[in-house]
Each structure stands twice: as C-alpha cells, then as structure tokens.
Amino acid sequence: MAEKKKLWGGRFVRDTDRLAEEFNSSIEVDKRLYREDILGSIAHVTMLGEQKILPAEEAALIVRTLEEILADIEAGRAEFSVSAEDIHMNIESLLIERLGEIGKKVHTARSRNDQVALDCRLYLKKEINNIRELLRQLQGTLLDLAEEHLETIMPGYTHLQKAQPVTLAHHLMAYVQMFARDEERLRDCLRRTDVMPLGSGALAGTTFPLNRRRVAEMLGFAAISENSLDAVSDRDFAIEFTAAASIIMMHLSRFCEELILWSTEEFGFIVMDDAYTTGSSIMPQKKNPDVAELIRGKTGRVYGDLITLLTIMKALPLAYNKDMQEDKAALFDAADTVKQCLEVFIPLLKTMQVNRERMRAAAGGGFANATDLADYLVRKGLPFRSAHEAVGRLVLYCTQRGCRLEDLSLEEAARESGLGEGCFGQDVYEALRLESMIQNRRVEGGPSPAAVKEAIARARSRLS
C-alpha cells in the first residue's frame, strides 16, 4: 500500500525524510493491535451514527468496510505501510482507499492519542485473562501433584542448608500460594485496565456530543476515564501489569532453580522428562534442564520490560508524548514471555518423575530433627533456650563422631547434653522419627498430611 500524502500533512510543505519516516514508524511493533483498533473504530463509528454526528447510512457503510478490512487482514490480503506510521493510520488509509471521502470521516471526534490508549487497554484485558487462566491451570497441576505426594517426605531448607523435614506436597503448596497471589494481582490490575479512554481526544475531549458510555458498553468496558488529560497520558495499567508479570516470573524462576538443583546427581530428587531437556554437543552423557534454565533467564527479560516502561514514563509532562510509542514493545514482550513460560512449565511439571526414596533419605540427614528434640525437651518441662543449648551440644557431639541424634543411647544423650538422667525417655526415639515429626506438625498451614489436605481443599474451592 503506497501513500502519497500523510493524513496529517496539511500544514507541511516538504516530505518526511526517509530515515526520519522509518525512525518514526511503529507499524512493525503495533500491527498486532489491528483487531483491537478495528473493533474500537467500529464501536466509535456506530456511536457517531447513533448520535447523528455521522449520517446513519455512512456510519453503517464504514462499519461494514472495517469488518471487510478485518477479514482481509486475517486472511493475509492486506498490506501495511511504513509511510502510514502506525496501525491506526494504516487502518484509516485502507478505509479511505476503499471509501474515499466517506472513509475520512472515521476519525471524527477522535485522536490517535485516545485511540492508542484504547487499543492497549483492549489488548491487555485479553492478555491478562489469558495469563490468569494459565496460572489457574498451573495451580491445578500443583494441587494434583500435592495430593499424590502427601506422604513424600523431603528436607526443608533455610540458607540452602537442611533445616526441618517437610513433605513434597507442603513444598508444592507454597508455590500454589505464590501463583494464587499472582492471579489475584492480575485480577486487581484488570479492574484498573478495564477503563475506556476513547472520547478524550488528543487531551481535551471534543465538542461533539459523544456517548462515551455507549462505546464502553459495546467494547465491554466496566467504566470510562474521568479526566481526558490523564486518559491519554496514563500508562499505569501497563506498568502495573508488567510489575505483576515480573513477580510471576520471579516465582517461576525460584521454582525452576529448585527443580534444576533437584535434578542434579548431588540431589537426585527428580528426573525431568526427555521432552523438556536437551543434550550436549560434546558430552554424550549430559541431560540438561534447558527449559527450566531458559525460564529462569527470561525472568531478567521481563524485569527489563518493567524498567523500560518506568523509564519511558519518568518525568513526562502531560499529556501525550512520542516517547510513549516505545511502550508497546515492552508490554507485548512481557505478556508474550510470561505466557510462553507458563505454557511450557505446566507440562514440564506434569511429566517429571519424583524419587521418593532419595528425598526421604536426604530428610534424615543434616540433623533435621534437632528442633524436634528441643521441642521434646520443652514438653518435659525445660525452657526452650535451655533445650536449644542442650541439643546444640548433642549435635556437636554427633558431628565429631559421625553419628545421628537418633543413634545416641539414652545414657549418652543425658551425659553429653549436660541435662543428666530423667530428661530422656524411650519415647524420644519415636519423637525423632521422620514420620512422627511430619504427623505432629498439624498446625494450620503446616506440613502434616491432614493440614496439607485442608490446604488443598481450600485452594480447590478458591479455584472453582
């Protein structure tokens, strides 16, 4: 499609320099908004006809032609032009090519400023709901895995050092909580995105008697913007979404880091399916967790998108500035990246194999039952700080001799703890057993199978 004259070129006597034209154009980035742009124009023109701002027959003709252009674009029969700058001017140029003077009326009572704000909000509403659905699928996958591993004991860590035993189900439910918060953040972000800016014009509205609420109704918006200056210069909704996307990626990255560690020979907790790993070009034995590593790496990319948007908007005076053209690449990239990562992460989780025996064996090491021994002494009447110190002495004694707390005789425990006889009974060995330690942590939110079952039920209820 060749354009001889700019649609805004009335006051210009020279053509735009070729390099400046290419530099100014955003069509290669914003062409994906064609559907949102056309749907917005259809609603706008329909309202113009209803308000008798345009003759009804002309409004109907424009709407029909816009629908034809939409069909042609989706069928690959329409071409976009760099000289038309952006998706808005490209669509308008296509309309004018087909309708002539009538096509020029589509932009009545509208600016590209409120038009692009509308398109971005329409696009983001759709993407937010797509990502929310993926987050719900991910939570469902985690709940299924948690139910399968209610009795799978594993070490819990702090500082990446063995701390206390938990279950794999309890560990997975921690991520259910994270992704539930992510979905809540997106739902909240959607509320502020679901505001219709069209009718704000370039910055000061219009003198035409628009029915903005009718346009909002046709496009499925819950509200209309209340200040025309703010409506065209606001990108808070995009920044908020990208911040929420960054937190999602942070959660995915943490999870992937653990899966990468767990899949090493040193841990041996899980085996990732061949479909989500790759080999080495030189080392035949390698099975690399590339998908998990890429998700971890792409987290930085989404962080960069957030910083890009924040930096673009920093110190911009009201209202619209051309700087804001740069917002879409970062917004699109953040949405695309999060979706892509979630889509591949869900089946990665579904197909991984868990080595229950290796996890349980690991949970029995590192004196993970030390706190339980201290709690045992507290139940015998000892103050916790005294119990803590006594168990610390026992851990040191075992470390020097290469044994475990449960290997000590009652006499050794009494002597080396400094507590003397009477503090340790035969029941101490039951208290130090892994299954007992898990079962006894019945506090709401804890790792006992009963507590985790309740957490799973609450999570499923929330999802449904």
**Under a CB-based contact definition with an 8 Å cutoff, are residues 98 and 70 in contact?**
no
Q: Which of 225, 228, 246, 280 is catalytic?
A: 280
Nearest Cα neighbor of 73 from 58, 87, 61, 62 is 87
Which secondary structure element, helix H or strand E, spans residue 229, and what is its range?
Answer: helix 228-233
Using the CB atoms, write b or e for 275-311: b if 16+ within 10 Å: ebbeeeeeeeeeeebebbbebbebbebbbebbebbee
**Which are the contacts of 144, defined by CB distance < 8 A and separation ≥ 6?**
none
> Which residue is associated with the tokens 């200040």?
227
* Measured distance CA(71)–CA(202) in Å, rounded: 29
* Measured distance CA(259)–CA(393) in Å, rounded: 35
Whether 159 is a known active-site residue: answer yes
DSSP secondary structure, 178-205, as one string = HHHHHHHHHHHHHHHH-EE-TT-TTTT-
* Measured distance CA(389)–CA(391) in Å, rounded: 6
Q: Which of 111, 159, 251, 417 is catalytic?
A: 159
* Measured distance CA(199)–CA(201) in Å, rounded: 5
Whether 280 is a known active-site residue: answer yes
- Residue 104 is classified by DSSP as G
Write down how long the chain is.
464
- Residue 102 is classified by DSSP as G
Strands (E), 241-360: 270-271, 353-354
The residues annotated with a catalytic role in the active site are: 159, 280
